[in-house]
């Protein structure tokens, strides 16, 4: 059997194309939507409360901050420090805003999920829910 030779230039091109088509995960999408919904008041604690309200379960503040940092590293949100407040022991709140790229990915994820949901007839969904 002859070994398969791959031109590494093609390999890296494939990875680059694959990376450009990444979709948001569930938690990332929920975080971005919460930041959008909260607007000027989007900092860690209200974002966590927003997720808890809509998910119906407790959300770890540490997981919220870790995910917000990942989203910022990806360029999907930006952050800025507010003024220090006495009720926080002189610490400033870190406020988050969605970037244009973040908003674009929210819309793209919504578009893809909507298209997928439209392919599932109601009777199939009911059938699968009844099996559980």
Domains present along the chain, CATH in parentheses: 23-131 (1.10.10.10)
E strand or H helix that includes residue 111: helix 100-118
The confidence band for 7, taking pLDDT boundaries of 50, 70 and 90, is low
Cα Dmax for the chain = 73
Whether residue 67 is predicted with pLDDT greater than 70 in this model: the reply is yes
Whether residue 78 is predicted with pLDDT greater than 70 in this model: the reply is yes
| CA-to-CA separations, 46 to 31, 71, 101, 126, in angstroms, rounded | 11, 17, 23, 35
The Cα 89–Cα 85 span in angstroms is: 7
Task: Give the pLDDT score at 122.
Answer: 75
Apex 59 CA angle, 54 and 62, nearest 5:
140
Q: What is the pTM of this model?
A: 0.73
Nearest C-alpha neighbor of 64 from the set 37, 23, 28, 22: 28
Whether residue 94 is predicted with pLDDT greater than 60 in this model: the reply is yes
Whether residue 123 is predicted with pLDDT greater than 70 in this model: the reply is no
- Tens-digit pLDDT profile for residues 11-54: 454 444 444 556 789 999 999 999 999 999 999 999 999 999 99
- Average pLDDT of 68-88? 90
Cβ neighbours for 48, distance < 8 A, ≥ 6 positions apart: 59, 60, 61, 64
């Amino acid at each position: 059997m002859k070994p398969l030779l791959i031109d590494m230039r093609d390999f890296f091109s494939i990875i680059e194309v694959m990376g450009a088509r990444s979709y948001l995960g569930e938690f990332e999408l929920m975080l971005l939507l919460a930041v959008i919904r909260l607007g000027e008041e989007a900092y860690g604690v209200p974002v966590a409360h927003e997720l808890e309200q809509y998910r119906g379960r407790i959300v770890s503040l540490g997981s919220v901050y870790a995910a917000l940092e990942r989203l910022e590293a990806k360029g999907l949100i930006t952050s800025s420090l507010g003024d220090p407040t006495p009720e926080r022991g002189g610490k400033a709140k870190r406020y988050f805003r969605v970037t244009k790229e973040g908003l674009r990915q929210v819309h793209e994820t919504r578009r893809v999920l909507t298209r997928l949901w439209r392919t599932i007839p109601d009777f199939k969904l009911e059938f699968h829910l009844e099996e559980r």
